[in-house]
Amino acid sequence: MLKPAFSVRLLGDRYDRGEVDAFVDRVVATVERRSVGPNVTVDDLRNAAFRTPLLGPGYRADEVDDFLTEAERWLPDRPAARPSGSVNGERTAPLFTPVRLREGYAPYEVDEFIDRLMATVNGLPVKRPVTVREIRHVQFTPVRLTEGYDVAEVDAFLDTAEGWLS
């Protein structure tokens, strides 16, 4: 893995170059399985924060943020999205991949709907069972810059769940 070359800017959203360089060096070492200190985890990537230089140049924040999001796929300890399946005769919902910088669905809305959906599919008591029509028309609030669920994964799961109820 090559170290990225971020654009430098004097004004606008930018991060301290020294902090970013040090963190990126750790990311690259973790991916290449070289020991230069503690390995970077997915949580480290998601919670990374860098100072904004008061005066002087810094790396473009959007480029650094995009790199950190992409780097999650390269880490050896990255949690895999759990596919939907069956446990002890009950269908299970997948664990959706969280996204931060690209558009995602509001997790609390998705979780609430999926809980009702899974209760319906598994024949458990639920105040308002989910219908095929509701699956086809459900709309979740899109979120950006805060953590959300991967849109494509949620939509694909809803297509699968619609088949379960049909």
The phi and psi torsions of 60 (rounded to 5 degrees) equal: -60, 125
Instruction: Give 3-54 pLDDT, tens digit per residue.
Output: 788 999 999 899 999 999 999 988 888 877 776 677 888 888 888 899 999 8
d(CA 85, CA 151) in angstroms, rounded, equals 20
68 in the same domain as 89: no
H-helix or E-strand spanning residue 104:
strand 104-105
70 in the same domain as 111: no
Question: Would 3 be classed as within a structural domain?
Answer: no
Question: Would 119 be classed as within a structural domain?
Answer: yes
d(CA 157, CA 153) in angstroms, rounded, equals 6
Assign 89 a pLDDT band (cuts: 50, 70, 90). Answer: low
| Cα-trace Rg, the chain | 20
Question: Would 80 be classed as within a structural domain?
Answer: no
Average pLDDT over residues 117-122: 92
Assign 68 a pLDDT band (cuts: 50, 70, 90). Answer: confident
Question: C-alpha dihedral over 150, 156, 118, 46, to 10 degrees?
Answer: -10
91 in the same domain as 146: yes
159 in the same domain as 127: yes
* Nearby residues of 117 by Cβ (< 8 Å), 6 or more positions away: 93, 130, 135, 161
d(CA 72, CA 88) in angstroms, rounded, equals 32
Among 44-48, 57-61, 69-73, the minimum mean pLDDT is found in 69-73
Per the structure, the complete domain to which residue 158 belongs is given by: 85-165
Which of helix, strand or coil describes residue 45?
helix
90 in the same domain as 45: no
70 in the same domain as 39: yes
* Nearby residues of 146 by Cβ (< 8 Å), 6 or more positions away: 100
110 in the same domain as 43: no
Question: Would 106 be classed as within a structural domain?
Answer: yes
Question: Would 67 be classed as within a structural domain?
Answer: yes
- Could you say which of 32, 48, 74 is where a domain stops? 74
Total of domains in the chain: 2
Q: What is the DSSP letter of 74?
A: G
- Could you say which of 29, 45, 74 is where a domain stops? 74
Average pLDDT over residues 149-163: 92
40 in the same domain as 68: yes
Question: Would 145 be classed as within a structural domain?
Answer: yes
Average pLDDT over residues 136-153: 90
141 in the same domain as 93: yes
User: What is the model's pTM?
Assistant: 0.51
Token duo for residue 163 = 């088949």
91 in the same domain as 69: no
